[in-house]
Homo-oligomer: A and B are copies of this chain.
Amino acid sequence: MLRVSKLTDYATVVMTVLAAADSSQSDSVLSAQDLAARARLELPTVSKLLKQLAHAQLVESFRGVNGGYRLARTPERISIAEIVTAMEGPIGMTECSAHAGMCDHEPHCGVRVNWQRINQAIAAALAGVSLADMLKTPPRRNVTIPLRVAS
């Protein structure tokens, strides 16, 4: 089915909530609890994923009373590709195309190089969508992202 993990899915939702808060008021630091409520997710789940996002420096964390999280950059400058990578590691459709030397068949496998090219295409697609885009529920306009694929 070609999917991302639920955690990654939830991460995009939480990031979208953060982005919405970010554009509405300035200095909007939201606690994990608050974010969980707004995203309608469990608190432990939200904390877990926020930790990972903080490590990847996509959000800033503040400890102590009145602490919480805030986007590290503007929504326009955070892409879905970054969120996916933060949650799941390097984008790669197959084991071998993400990490070399993991597959016994690597020496005599003709398709590996082509998978790497497909990965690049998909990474480009993901990089072309920003958090700000995710906020816009009704589609406004369409842009054409040039996507280079070998053929």
Contact = CB atoms under 8 A, between A and B. Distances in A.
Interface of A: 1-4, 6, 9, 12-13, 16, 39-41, 80, 84, 88-95, 98, 104-105, 108-111, 113-115, 117-118, 121-122, 124-126, 128-130, 133-137, 139-151
A85 to B, nearest CB: 9
Contacts of A111: 12-13, 16, 134
Contacts of A135: 110
22 contacts: A1-B98, A3-B92, A3-B94, A3-B98, A4-B94, A6-B95, A9-B115, A13-B109, A13-B111, A40-B105, A80-B118, A110-B137, A114-B133, A117-B129, A125-B125, A125-B147, A128-B151, A129-B150, A136-B150, A143-B149, A143-B151, A146-B146
